[in-house]
């Protein structure tokens, strides 16, 4: 059986699927919700891809809308207010089962294979190791992240990381917004390059701190263009002194994400005693 749906993407990876017959009802609910949040009708017209007179018609409609669509419209409109993009697309689903609800859209390489699952689980365990830890003094201006590669990784699409980095509140690691492949481009490309020289499978970026040298971790330096200066032996941390427009930083290397996290704990401890 073929099901016709309207696919509404309201985040880069998140989507809500509804039956095509219900698309107008959802747009009416959205028009009312967005207008209630003080968006002008011309802006709503652009978002819903309908004319401004139609927006006015939807807003003034007395039609009863079910709670299901009102709740969905409220959820979507809140994301739009938070500057998430929203687009309507029509797609055809080949399925014998009804297909509605909210889903995350994955690229083909992100389909959960056994190898992908191992990487995702390892990153989640790495977060558990670090959750609640105070990393004051170790936070770079860019967000902290950990990237981990699959076995025989060839491109950044084979490397997973925390979506938009780890969440830091009051200098403590408190959460993350998902784990995705192919998102952390800088860490991914650096990890793939370093994998050719060291026995590593994960990398983490933190601020540049001299107190790293107070631990038993082996350190070396990267050039301005992120090439190894001289190291041929295995190292734990690579330091980059920065350049014009590039802040100094450090990269923790490890066999996996958990290994990287444990090395960060050593650095946190060394940073504490170094003060």
* Model pLDDT, residue 274: 54
- Could you read off the pLDDT of 17-44 as tens digits, one per residue? 887 778 889 999 999 999 999 999 999 9
* Model pLDDT, residue 245: 79
Buried b (16+ CB within 10 A) or exposed e, 155-187: ebbbbbbbeebbebeeeebeebeebbbbbbeeb
Cα 89-91-95 angle, rounded to 5 deg: 150
Average pLDDT over residues 113-123: 90
Chain center to CA of 192: 19
* Model pLDDT, residue 45: 93
- Could you read off the pLDDT of 233-275 as tens digits, one per residue? 889 999 998 888 788 999 999 999 999 999 999 998 876 655 5
DSSP conformation letters of the chain: -EEEEEEEE-SSSEEEEEEGGGHHHHHHHHHHHHHHTT--HHHHHHHHTS-HHHHHHHHH------HHHHHHHHHHHHHHHTT---EEEEEEEE-SS---EEEE---GGGS--HHHHHHHHHHHHHHHHHTT-B-TT---SSPP-EEEEPTT--SGGGEEEETT-EEEETTEEEEES-EEES--HHHHHHHHHHHTTSS--EEEEEE--GGGGGSS--EEEB-TTS-BSS--S--SEEEE--BTTB--EEEEEESSHHHHHHHHHHHHHHHHHT-
Q: What is the CA radius of gyration of the chain?
A: 24
Maximum Cα interatomic distance, the chain, rounded to a whole number of Å? 73
- Per the model's pLDDT, the better-predicted residue between 56 and 137 turns out to be 56
Buried b (16+ CB within 10 A) or exposed e, 76-99: bbeebeeeeebebeeeeeeeeeee
> Which residue has tokens 């959205």?
30
Average pLDDT over residues 82-111: 69
* Model pLDDT, residue 98: 66
Cβ-contact 71, 26 below 8 angstroms? no
Domains and CATH numbers, the chain: 2-105 (no CATH), 109-273 (3.40.225.10)
Cβ-contact 175, 128 below 8 angstroms? no
Cβ-contact 172, 132 below 8 angstroms? yes
- The pLDDT-based confidence of 6 (bands split at 50, 70, 90) is very low
Q: Nearest-CA neighbor of 88 among 1, 2, 30?
A: 30
The CB density around residue 54, as the number of other CB atoms within 10 Å, is 17
Residues 6+ apart with CB under 8 A from 29: 65, 69, 70, 72, 73
């Amino acid at each position: 059986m073929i099901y016709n749906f309207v696919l509404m993407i309201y985040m880069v990876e998140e989507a809500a699927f509804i039956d095509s017959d219900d698309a107008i009802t959802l747009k009416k609910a959205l028009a009312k919700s967005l207008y209630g949040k003080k968006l002008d009708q011309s802006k709503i017209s652009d978002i819903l891809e309908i004319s401004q007179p139609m927006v006015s018609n939807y807003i003034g409609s007395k039609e009863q809308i079910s709670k299901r669509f009102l709740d969905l419209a409220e959820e979507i409109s809140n994301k739009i207010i938070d500057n998430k993009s929203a687009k309507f697309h029509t797609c055809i689903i080949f399925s014998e089962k009804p297909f509605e609800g909210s889903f995350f859209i994955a690229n083909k390489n992100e389909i959960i294979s056994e190898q992908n699952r191992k990487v995702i689980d390892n990153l989640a365990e790495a977060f558990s190791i670090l959750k609640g830890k105070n990393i004051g003094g170790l936070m770079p201006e860019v967000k902290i992240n950990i990237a981990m590669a699959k076995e025989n990784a060839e491109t950044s699409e084979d490397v997973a990381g925390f979506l938009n980095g780890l969440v830091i509140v009051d200098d403590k690691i408190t959460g993350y917004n998902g784990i995705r492949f192919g998102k952390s481009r800088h860490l991914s490309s650096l990890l793939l390059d370093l994998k050719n020289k060291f026995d590593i499978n994960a990398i983490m970026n933190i601020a540049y701190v001299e107190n790293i040298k107070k631990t038993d971790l082996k350190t070396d330096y990267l050039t301005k263009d992120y090439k190894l200066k001289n190291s041929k032996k295995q190292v734990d941390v690579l330091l980059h002194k920065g350049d014009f427009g590039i802040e100094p930083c450090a990269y923790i290397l490890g066999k996996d994400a958990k290994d990287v996290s444990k090395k960060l704990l050593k650095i946190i401890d060394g940073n504490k005693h170094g003060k």
